[in-house]
Amino acid sequence: MLTETLPVANAPDALPATRPIELTINGKKRQFRLAPWTTLLDALREYANLTGTKKGCDHGQCGACTVLIDGKRVNACLTLAVMHEDHTITTIEGLADSATGQFHPLQQAFIDHDAFQCGYCTPGQICSAVGMLNEGKVENKADQIRELMSGNLCRCGAYPHIVDAIQEVMNKDR
Amino acid sequence: MNPFAYSRPASLADTVNELAGSSRSRIIAGGTNLIDLMKENVERPAQLIDINRLPFSTIDELPDGGLRLGALVTNADTAYHPLVEQRYPLLSQTILAGASPQLRNMATNGGNLFQRTRCYYFYDTSMPCNKRAATNNGPGGCAAYGGYNRIHAILGTTDDTNGQSSCVATYPSDMAVALTALDAVVQVTGPNGDRSIPMADFHRLPGAEPWRDNTTQPGEVVTAIDLPTRGFPDHYTYIKVRDRSSYAFALVSVAVGLEMDGDVVRDARIALGGVAHKPWRKSEAEQLLIGKTLSPETIRPVADALLAGARGYGHNDFKIELAHRAIIRAVLKSGLDNGAVE
Ligand SMILES: Cc1cc2nc3c(=O)[nH]c(=O)nc-3n(C[C@H](O)[C@H](O)[C@H](O)COP(=O)(O)OP(=O)(O)OC[C@H]3O[C@@H](n4cnc5c(N)ncnc54)[C@H](O)[C@@H]3O)c2cc1C
Ligand code: SF4
Ligand code: FES
Ligand code: FES
């Protein structure tokens, strides 16, 4: 019989095992078993069942997935859960006062100012605004707020009310 | 994303070993470029080496009066560092013109240097691309050469009439444009020890090897970026022309630093972004400004010299005139009022 030499057909390499990962989310330590390629966004939504954080683009282009890591705003879609075992993660679910249930002032201001239509971008907008105020680089001026909130797109175009809501919180803080 | 092993080496030496051990190992720092490319299957590493716990996250003064920016310091912390704001406001403003606050909070100085082109064909593994094909990932050729090339390069390209060996991609970083104008030096450690690479030699033109973005060797890790003493804090400008006023890559950008003696230019640095495979600088062009007073007439020959040999590929022809005007405006602005970003 004639044999023909063909290139070796390789099955994909076996997947590396999942690993135990501990994340501190909204003040609570939580254990997971996750593959290293799980993004922080997927860990929050699919494994921690915290679906407040939204997936818009999954590529760092919209800001819907904004969460706070050690108080700094970041895009959860472009970082891996396994990289944040020694950090504190805050999502939209963790902003309200856990004892009284009272909304964070920015959450209340977004409601009062009708700063959304469909609401899909809102958790990201609010977390981003919290991060922006933590950074302390923004003055209470609409153009500066717009620039420093430019990492959050709103498909519904609620921008004017979003800026109003943020300015109200900044006015109260003074 | 493809499956990969994940490691967190405890030392730089371990990192270099792991990195040099396999051509399919990649460092992960902020992750904002690498994870994006992995989601698109452009990058398919077998191993990710997380360097975030290595000790490169400080900004320190150098004995000669310069400043050392750790490779792991975030773009945000660099831009807002008091010494950077004071001595190198050009760098600070340039970084803040890039990406978004969220991305700048994660993006590191080291990762920014290695960010890859935003050429849309490079991102699409079904399209011919010489930059990507070298890693066995999709067909060779250059889809941008005869395709939709509005964001592509006008200087230093590799082109041939059928696009077979072309690459007309740009390197998209803002930060690197300021670093080039400031004559920064990149500190690297690899299997053969340490070396220093001046910014002008760090990135490269595509030449016959468009898959090589820069001159680092396999296994080399960037540990820091050093800024020399002269920061041009009195006369500087970064102008970034883009499709929307924030959160967009540059079509053309210009970083300028001037030293003035009254109305007369004593020293000039001009670097362009968005026009080539590396930040574009020409000392012959800068020399033309020395001893001149600033006016559109004195700056025009400088812009001509910087853009000598520029050519468009159809959709990006507009960049030549745009760059010309942006250079004149940026230089004028630097000299007249201590220009801030537009
Ligand atoms: C939507 C969007 C918009 C953006 N807009 C802009 C913009 O307008 N202007 C701009 O300049 N940038 C922009 N960026 C790009 C951003 O600045 C880069 O993604 C970022 O700087 C990369 O840094 P990182 O630390 O996240 O890198 P990573 O993604 O972690 O790494 C990138 C590459 O660098 C390598 N690497 C990282 N650190 C080292 C090191 N120390 N030594 C050796 N190799 C290393 C990695 O192996 C990888 O190949 C944008 C990004 C996104 C997603
Ligand atoms: S310009 Fe370069 S990166 Fe873009 S398709 Fe051509 S070879 Fe690929
Ligand atoms: S989902 Fe992360 S930025 Fe869009
Ligand atoms: S409220 Fe609908 S996207 Fe912002």
Q: How confident is the model at residue B19 (pLDDT cuts 50, 70, 90)?
A: very high
Work out the average pLDDT over B56-73.
98
Provide the b/e sequence for B198-226 (b: ≥16 CB within 10 Å): ebbebbbbbeeebebbbebeebbbbbbbb
Q: Encode pLDDT of B66-78 as tens digits.
A: 999 999 999 999 9
The values of phi and psi at residue B255, to 5°, are: -110, 130
Which chain A positions have a beta carbon within 8 Å of B30's beta carbon? 78-79
- On whether any CB of chain B is under 8 Å from the CB of A16, the answer is yes
For residue B38, list chain A residues with Cβ-Cβ distance below 8 A: 37
What mean pLDDT value characterizes chain B? 95
From the candidate CATH numbers 3.90.550.10, 3.40.50.2300, 3.50.30.30, 1.10.150.120, the one assigned to the domain spanning A105-172 = 1.10.150.120
The answer to whether A113 touches A168, Cβ cutoff 8 Å, is: yes
| Domain A19-94 CATH class label | alpha beta
Report the domain count for chain B.
1
| Cα B67 to Cα B309: distance, rounded to the nearest angstrom | 35
Cα dihedral angle (B323, B327, B333, B336), rounded to 10 degrees? Answer: -160
Which ligand has its closest atom nearest to the C-alpha of B202? 1
Q: Which tokens is B259 given?
A: 């030293």
Average pLDDT, chain A: 93
- Longest pairwise C-alpha distance within chain A: 89
Spatial contact of B242 and B230, defined as CB atoms under 8 Å apart:
no
Neighbour tally for A59: CB within 10 Å: 16
Taking each helix axis from N to C terminus, what angle separates A159-173 and A105-112, rounded to the nearest 10 degrees? 130
Ligand nearest to the CA of A119: 4
What pLDDT is stored for residue B342 in this prediction? 47
Q: Are B9 and B19 in contact (CB under 8 A)?
A: no
Task: Report the pLDDT averaged over residues A96-109.
Answer: 96
pTM, rounded to two decimals: 0.96
Mark yes or no for CB contact B101/A80 under 8 Å: no
Tell me what the mean pLDDT of segment A130-138 comes to: 97
Asked if residue B178 is part of any domain, the answer here is: no
Which residue CA neighbors atom 8 of ligand 2 most closely? B129
Residues 6+ apart with CB under 8 A from A38: A47, A80, A81, A82
Q: Which pLDDT score, from 0 to 100, does residue A2 have?
A: 59
What value does the mean pLDDT take over residues B197-220? 96
What residue spans define the domains of chain A? Answer: 19-94, 105-172
What is the residue range of B320's domain?
A: 236-341
pLDDT tens profile B92-104: 999 999 999 999 9
Which of A19, A54, A75 to probe the B interface (max B CBs under 10 A)? A75
Give the CATH number for residue B257: 3.30.390.50
Q: What percent of chain B has pLDDT over 70?
A: 98
Q: What does chain A come to in residues?
A: 174
B336 pLDDT tier (thresholds 50, 70, 90) = confident
Average pLDDT over residues B34-49: 96
